[in-house]
Every structure is written in C-alpha cells, then in structure tokens.
Amino acid sequence: MAFRRKLPARFSPLPRSQSPSPNPTSPHKTPTRAKSPNPNATTLKSPLSTSSLATLIHTSIRNRQIAQAQSFVLRMIRRSGASRSEIVSSLISNGNDLTTGYAFDLLIRTYVQARKIREATEVFRLLKLKNMRVSINACNSLLSGLVRLGWFGLVREVYRGIVELGVNLNVYSLNIMVNAFCREGKLHEVNGFLVDMEIKGILPDNVTYNTLVDAYCRNLEMEKGLELLDLMRQKGMRPDLGAYNSILNGFCRTKEIDRAEKLFEEMLELRLAPSTSTFNILMSLYCSSGDSDKAIKVFQEIFRYGLVPDMGYCRSGNTQKAEEFLENMRKENVTPDCVTYNTIIHGYVKQERISEALDLAKKMESVGVQPDIVTYNLLIKGFCEHGRMVDADRVLKKMVARGIRPDKATYKALMDGYATNGNLKEALKLHEEMLQRGFVPDDKF
C-alpha cells in the first residue's frame, strides 16, 4: 500500500481556484513593474518632426556619431510632406556654427547617394541664396552626380555657384568638369577652363590627361591625342595603360596598322603590361584587315601574359568573325582551348542558333577539348529558352555521366525552363534537390 507523506501546513497545496496574491489589494491581477520611458525607443517609433530630426542630427554631429547623423538625415529626406526649404530652415535654426556646415555636407551627399540629384541641386540653390558655403566634398559629389546623369546645364549652374560662394576647388573638381566637357562634346572649351584653373593654382593630373586623350581618340582626333601624350611626358607624368589603349583603339578605327604596331612596341619598351583589352584591340584590327596570321600570334601572346581572351565579337553576337578566326587557328595548328569554344558557343546561344552551338560542342570534343560546366550550362540554358526540355535533360544526363555535377546556374536554367513550360512539378523537384545540395535558390521559387 502506498502511503502519502503528510506535508506541513505551510507546504500544503492550495486549491486550484485560489492563488497566492503578491498584492493584497488586487487578488486577481498580478501587477507589472512600471517601465521607465526609453527616449531612444520613442525616437525610433514615433513620427518625428523635421525640427526634431534636425536637433538629433546636430546632437549626433557634436558627439561625432556621423553614421547616426546620416541615418537621421536619411529619415528627414524620406519624410513625406517635408519640403527642401523646411529642411534647410530646420537645420539652420537648430544648429550652430560648429555643426551646421557638416549637417549640410551630409544632407547634399545623402541626397546624391539616394539618387535624388534634383533635390540635392535644389538644396544647393537654397544655400546659395542664403550665402552659406558648402564643403568642396559635397559640391564635388553633386557635380559628379549631375555629370553621371548628363545634366550638363545644371553642372554649369552648380559650378558657377560654387565659384561665387568662394568654395576652394580642388583637382577632383577640375577632373569632374573636364569629364563633363568631354561627355557634352565641348572639347574646345577645355583649354580655357584649364587656364582658369591654373590661375587658381589647380593643375591637371594624370586623370585629366587620360580623360582628354580618350575623348580626342573617340572623335578620331588622333594627332591631338598623341600631342597630349607627349605633353604628359614633358610634365614628368607617366601615361598609363588607359591612355595607350585609347590611342590604340583610335588607330584600329582608322585602320592605321603601322602606327598601332609602333605604339604597342612603345608600350612594351615602357614596361606597360598589356591588358586583355589591348590584345582585343589588336586582334580586331588584324581580323578586320584580313591578316589572320598576326591575329593568331596576338592570340597566342595573350596566354603568355597569363590573360584570358574574351573574343569580344562573340559577346556582341558576331559569330561569323569568330568562326573565321577559329578556322585560321586550326590551319596554323593552334588548338583553341575550352574558353575559346565556350565564347563562340555563347555567341551562338545569344543568336538563338542552339543547334549550331551543340554541333560546335561536339566538334570541340572531336579535337580533344573536353567541355566543362560552362559549356553544358550554355547548352542547357539555350535548350530551356527554346522550350526543348527533352534536349536540355539529355545534356544534363551526359554532363552528370562525365562526372560534372550541376551547379546553381544549371538548376536555375532548368527550373526556369520547366516553370515557363508549365511543368511546375519538375521545377519544384529540382528546387528541392537544389536545397539539399546547399544552393540558395532565387526568391521566385
């Protein structure tokens, strides 16, 4: 027989209907401790006025919490109903001489970073009307944003305003404006501008001359480009690879093979290592002039420099030149590698010539070049885009049989293909397999 131990009275369990009450005045409700108000929580949750945000911005700047200050600026410019005039007035009235300048610097740069260039320009105009100077960093940020959008009229207006406010310009300002002149097609105004900047004590640097060389060569004004190259040397500057590539590309467009070759030799003498772009320019020059022997030699040089050819005409969908080049390589007993074949296959897929892409993949195998994951993915993607899912599956099985496992690009192409063709069951099956292999799928699945 089981005996229950009798507990002392003070341990006797209470009936379920009763419960000890810590507060005798309220037996049915357990009081909660009153929480002290958290000003930060209020700040984050409550909608703040423009004036309150301005105060927080200045406080953060005084405490050198610049990241926090910018986050408040971002909230301010996203606040609905707040005009630029209200924002500027609030920052002025809530700040002081030590913080106001930095606050406006943050305001303009944040507008630019948020791609609100028009609003940044409006703020600059308001500050100019109040004769308030803005930092050169903010001014350069605004100028650069305007140039990027091609708003050259506003570029000139803001630049004039910067000069009138007496802001100290620097070489970055100079280069932004030179880039603006070049992009606007007003190269004839550059010399006058550079003279004016020199009077201000600001001299052009390598970036300035490289920008101008590129602009002149784009206009096929080759002599002016070469003159600038000589001028750089006279000033003790070293022209970089970008300047030489610009001139080389100009000679390619004017079909001046001798001058292009001479310039390339000069680059090598200066120990400027050619880039893939350099070799692409030369290959394009030789291919367009029908000199396949030199084109193949250039192609071989690419590998000697440890670079990978990208055969740009394939990327643009021009596979005919690529085919001719490939044939010439074979005649010269130069074996194209997998990258070369993949580039041409990509060109075929881009042109929706998927059958020819498959034929080339078979041909590369016949000459001893084994397809890689990129080759198979290109073919699978091409078949899927044409709704040929049976062929895509056949390529997949062949790939797996050769020991090449599908990657994320493989799964994505197949899932897109099955989903587009209404076979959601197969798409979801692949999705599950993809997860099991540790790949992160796109959101659409």
Q: Give residue 318's pLDDT band: very low, low, confident or very high (50, 70, 90).
A: low
Does residue 88 contact residue 57 with C-beta atoms inside 8 Å? no
Which pLDDT score, from 0 to 100, does residue 169 have?
95
Q: Please name which of 309, 385, 307, 376 lies closest in space to residue 345, comparing C-alpha atoms.
A: 376
Residue pointed to by tokens 């105004």: 189
- Compute φ and ψ for 174, nearest 5 degrees: -60, -50
More confident residue, 433 or 172: 172
- Indicate if the pLDDT at residue 337 is higher than 90: no
151, burial (CB in 10 Å: exposed 0-12, middle 13-18, buried 19+): middle
* Overall average pLDDT of the 289-303 stretch: 75
Does residue 201 contact residue 223 with C-beta atoms inside 8 Å? no
103, burial (CB in 10 Å: exposed 0-12, middle 13-18, buried 19+): buried
More confident residue, 6 or 333: 333
Q: Give residue 283's pLDDT band: very low, low, confident or very high (50, 70, 90).
A: confident
More confident residue, 14 or 246: 246
Share of the chain above pLDDT 90, in %: 42
More confident residue, 243 or 315: 243
Query: What predicted TM-score, i.e. pTM, was given to this entire model?
Result: 0.63
- Indicate if the pLDDT at residue 23 is higher than 70: no
Q: Give residue 333's pLDDT band: very low, low, confident or very high (50, 70, 90).
A: low
Per-residue pLDDT tens over the stretch 206-232: 999 999 999 999 999 999 999 999 999
Per-residue pLDDT tens over the stretch 67-101: 888 889 888 888 777 789 989 988 988 888 778 88
Q: Taking the CA atoms of 132, 137, 142 and 143 in sequence, report the sign of the dihedral they define.
A: positive
Task: Report the chain's mean pLDDT, rounded to a whole number.
Answer: 82
Q: Taking the CA atoms of 206, 212, 215 and 220 in sequence, report the sign of the dihedral they define.
A: negative
- Indicate if the pLDDT at residue 34 is higher than 50: no
Per-residue pLDDT tens over the stretch 361-416: 898 888 888 899 999 999 999 999 989 999 999 999 999 999 899 998 999 999 99
- Indicate if the pLDDT at residue 29 is higher than 90: no
Does residue 170 contact residue 144 with C-beta atoms inside 8 Å? no
* Overall average pLDDT of the 145-174 stretch: 95
Which pLDDT score, from 0 to 100, does residue 224 have?
93
Which pLDDT score, from 0 to 100, does residue 2 have?
45
Token representation of residue 253: 């467009």
Does residue 138 contact residue 105 with C-beta atoms inside 8 Å? yes
Does residue 272 contact residue 305 with C-beta atoms inside 8 Å? no
